[in-house]
Amino acid sequence: MKTSQPAFTSLALAALLACSVSGHAASSACPGPSGHGDATKVVASVEAFRTSLSPEQRRVFEKPLARTTAIEWSNLPIGVQPRTGLRIGDLDAAQAKAAHAVVEAAMSACGVKLFDEVRLADDALLPLDKRNIGWSSANYYLSVLGTPGTKAVWMLQIGGHHLAYNLTFNGALPGATPLFFGMEPLVFKVKDAQYEPLRPQTLAMMNLSKAVAGHEKATLSGTFTDVVKGVVTVPGTNGGPPRGGIDSGYPHNYPGGDTDRGVRYDALKPAEQALVRAAIESYASFPGESITRGLLASYLAPQALAATYVGVSGVADFSRRGSYVRIDGPRLWLEWIVQPAIALPDELHYHALWRDKQADYGGEALK
Amino acid sequence: MRWLAALALAFALVIAMDAAWAHHAPPSYVKLEFGARHVDAELLVPHSELAYASSARDAQALGAYLQEHVSAETPDGRAWRVDIRSARETTVGEQRYYSAEVRLTPPRGAPVRELVFIDDAVTHEVRNHRVLIVAKGELLGELQYPAKRFTIDRAAN
């Protein structure tokens, strides 16, 4: 396993954040529409990054677009699930800057901030990594699937432990999903700056959970120990060790009908309905607005909202493992789970997943 | 238990993979071996997830639990015989499992390589839990709530 440090060291990354985004995750608002996620700008940034790479690096960076390559993302550290793609820790300073520009072109300010801060969280775990599990800001990867352009379909994948951005451009449908994010530790300090990267999403889902807890239909049956539609740990071939886990369960089956899906949006009070919309928007705040504009319009359309369910399990204040929230609409599938932490077992950590029942991988990974 | 032994050996050799078992929601595994007259299934059920679904804390109780939650039938609905031949606790990597050997025998005249495998152990309670079904090192598929029936046709294999 590679463990060398990236061109942006943890402290340098923290210093950059302190200047650019205040270094405190309590801020929740992303800037308004600004062209982030616009395919033309993303393609230009990818091309600029590509020209900075050696031929060998380009071969690692570029993959064919197929189901087998698209589903390779994971939420596990690389010691558990090795990644393909170009490792940020292997880039020189100029290449790292160009790579960050790709993230900035594709994602919103919130999405960039999460990309930076989830890596800081990994670095906070580094001293606890006694098993070479691979927590490190260096162990995040970039890939393009297909040929970046403004007409043919292609994907940009950015991810590592606790982060998977899967963006599809020019696909049958606008594709921001699957989008996985998680966090451990939930709150941490780098030098004097305190970070709580998922505070906006935590509050959005917690407020929603508390608000709907009084509705009898909101409580889902069963127990939850992770997100339901996440990656699958699979057995190794020929009796070999199990492999970490990728999205091999795709395409997924989703619940139908009206049973055990939670309370319907149209049965909620207006203030509770507002919390549903806020929760949806908190997840959708990460990709560039050009990508999410159409998706949000679909999710928040009155007919779609009317057929959207909110289901909960566990305790509403997220103080215990197994606390779970799900928003399940005609297209939308959002999950939030509280798990015990890995590095610090007495603490908790979060996993969250956004799927689109129609537009995961832009609807292009079924072939 | 050859599969389990191979798993244990591989884990001893691949230290980094230990971390896989620190994952807090491990799936169950079912390995099927097709014989001339019956199918032998080796089940690995993670201790951590079973604890949410059953109060079984020893091999005898586990056997009774599996008898209730694992079965098989022909595609036209005739029940297979299910024998829980052994059940014990084991550790693979960092993860504690219950392992069980189950023999599945088709009704008289029914082909041994065509069956509906039925398993809702753990999945009847834990909504994210998956049961991964394997034969000859190949992942045939998975079961996750509410699905508990998996149709298998290995006539050509």
* B137 contact residues in A (CB cutoff 8 A): 237-239
Q: What is the pLDDT of residues A273-314, one digit of tens each?
A: 999 999 999 999 999 999 999 999 999 999 999 999 999 999
Maximum pairwise Cα distance, chain A: 59
Calculate the alpha carbon distances from A357 to A230, A254, A324, B77 in Å. 13, 8, 20, 33
* A347 contact residues in B (CB cutoff 8 A): none
**CA-closest candidate to residue A195, choices A203, A183, A208, A206:** A183
Task: Choose the weakest-confidence range: A63-67, A132-136, A218-222, A265-269.
Answer: A132-136
User: What pLDDT band is residue B6 in, cutting at 50, 70 and 90?
Assistant: very low
Option in A223, A227, A236 nearest B10 (CB): A236
Q: What is the pLDDT of residues A329-359, one digit of tens each?
A: 999 999 999 999 989 889 999 999 999 999 9
- Most confident by average pLDDT, A76-80, A125-129, A136-140: A136-140
Mean pLDDT of B132-154: 93
Backbone angles phi, psi at A276, to 5 degrees: -65, -50
| Cβ pair A224:B3 closer than 8 A | no
B79 to chain A, any CB pair closer than 8 A? The answer is: no
Dihedral sign (CA B97, A260, A353, A313): negative
| Cβ pair A228:B127 closer than 8 A | yes
Residues 6+ apart with CB under 8 A from B67: B82, B84
Give me the DSSP letters along A135-153: --TT-EEEEEES--SSSS-
| Cβ pair B126:A133 closer than 8 A | no
Residue A5 in this model has a pLDDT that exceeds 60: no
Maximum pairwise Cα distance, chain B: 48
* A225 contact residues in B (CB cutoff 8 A): 24-25, 48-49, 52, 126, 128-129
Residue A26 in this model has a pLDDT that exceeds 80: no
Minimal C-alpha gap between A234 and chain B (Å): 7
Do B97 and B45 contact (CB within 8 A), yes or no? Answer: yes
Residue A231 in this model has a pLDDT that exceeds 70: yes
**Cβ of A322: how many Cβ atoms within 10 Å?**
17
Give me the DSSP letters along B95-146: EEEEEEEEEEEPPTT--TTEEEEEE-TTTTTBTT-EEEEEETTEEEEEEETT
Calculate the alpha carbon distances from A24 to A46, A143, A227, A305, B32 in Å. 29, 29, 27, 33, 52
ipTM value, please give it: 0.88
Q: Can you give the pLDDT at residue A238? A: 56
Mean pLDDT of A150-174: 95
Option in B19, B132, B144 nearest A133 (CB): B19
Residue B129 in this model has a pLDDT that exceeds 70: yes
Minimal C-alpha gap between A279 and chain B (Å): 22
Q: Can you give the pLDDT at residue B17? A: 42
Q: Can you give the pLDDT at residue A32? A: 53
Q: What is the pLDDT of residues A48-104, one digit of tens each?
A: 999 999 999 999 999 999 999 999 999 988 888 899 999 999 999 999 999 999 999
Could you give the 3-state DSSP secondary structure of residue A307?
coil
Q: Which of A80, A161, A237 to mutate to test the interface with B (most CBs of B within 10 A)?
A: A80
Residue A6 in this model has a pLDDT that exceeds 90: no
Q: Which residues of A touch B (CB under 8 A)?
A: 1, 76-77, 79-80, 131-134, 220-228, 230, 232-245, 248-249, 253, 255, 337, 339-340, 342
Option in B25, B29, B145 nearest A225 (CB): B25
B145 to chain A, any CB pair closer than 8 A? The answer is: yes
